[in-house]
Structure 1
């Protein structure tokens, strides 16, 4: 469990799956994904995330505002599949309910996840990626000190003809993160 000034990054519980499924079936939240997720797909993803955190001790943590005990999304670290052209790596990612956008929560939690990546896991680099049009996520990447690597790629799990296939790749090294933290 990690804590910031306003947030708690924690392991998932069964109570998180339904609000997660609602979030993954929201057109605004999923605007930059190829499709909405069904409740079954969301539950399966939530169980997989929970399992990976149990296995490794870290992952895409559930986010809540202390004293509210309410799931508002996830932020954390993940190891993408080897199909990615830049694998092996650890990525940082987020997905929040739209009711919590614009409050700095994703940035605050992502900064804590980077701190964990570099101080606890002792990683040398963390990546993040999104579709070309996802300006909100790119803004968060920049706020947490990441830079555009100028290594765009076609996401291997999205049809090449799909408008969201091309992705930008952002990176931050441990050294750059340490310089930013000073």
Structure 2
């Protein structure tokens, strides 16, 4: 799952965590693939052909996570318009909304060096969707933060691709980027997305009312997961002989 402007969210007040312990228990028991995100709302799609973006590429055994290209637009639009993909969002996206979304991805990469990357299958170079990292500042107790998100074509669900790409993104976040934590958010009923979070080793943190969902009460509450870099155990101190 991945939340972001363009997914027809409705603004609300700052959100605080709520005590719904059974949600996490149910999520773990029922967990069965989609991850999180809301990017700042930045402008209109205009610079794919005019403003260069520093190329970025993360390779996994089956995926190439890379900078967005103009040829990706119709393919992502088809994914964003699929009701199966957008089941846990207020509504599917129009072509313009999808194109605007890619513009925000590109702007984010230009500003921060990373984004929700285009996820391309290495074998045939087919665009499968996106997997990546994004800075979030919507009103919530855990923001501002960096989150991890994914959205893939239904044809490739259940193949472990979201977890494969997500693992590479977490390694990039805690390695090259040196981030202290990465969050993930999913609607409490989005079991496929929650399963990916568990596959990534992320820890459940809280349930909260997402301010971007507005009156879509069937999508509330959302669950927050977090991942932090592993801390190596320190060598025991050596004491001088008496």
TM-score when normalising by structure 1: 0.92
Distance 2:209 2:76 in 1: 27
Does residue 138 in structure 1 map to residue 211 in structure 2? no
Match of 1:169 in 2: 224
Moved over 4 A (4+): none
Q: Deviations over 1:88-124 (max 9, x none)?
A: 1110010001111111111100000000000011111
Rg (Cα) greater in structure: 2
CA contact (8 A) 2:186 2:223 kept: yes
* 1:45 equivalent among 97, 101, 104: 101
Per-residue CA deviation, residues 27-46 of structure 1 (Å, 9 max, x unaligned), is 11011111111111000001
Residues 66-145 of structure 1 correspond to what in structure 2 (within 5 A)?
A: 66-145=122-201
The question of whether the paired residues in 2 share the 8 Å contact of 1:152 and 1:169 is answered with yes
Q: Which of 66, 73, 77 is the equivalent residue of 1:10?
A: 66
Q: Give the TM-score normalised by structure 2.
A: 0.70
Matches of 1:164 and 1:46 in 2, distance apart? 24
Q: Deviations over 1:3-43 (max 9, x none)?
A: 01111000010111111111111011011111111111000
Bigger shift: residues 74-83 or 86-95: 74-83
Any conservation in 2 of the 1:60–1:78 contact (CA below 8 Å)? yes
Q: Which has the higher contact order (CA 8 A, sep 6+)?
A: 2
Distance in 2 separating the partners of 1:56 and 1:173: 20
TM-align CA RMSD:
1.5
Post-superposition offset of 1:136: 0.2
Is there any run of 5+ residues in structure 1 with no aligned partner, and where? none
Q: Which has the higher helix share?
A: 1
Q: Which residue of 1 aligns with 2:38?
A: none
1:34 correspondence with 2:90:
yes
How many equivalent residue pairs? 177
| Greater alpha carbon shift after TM alignment, 80-89 vs 115-124 | 80-89
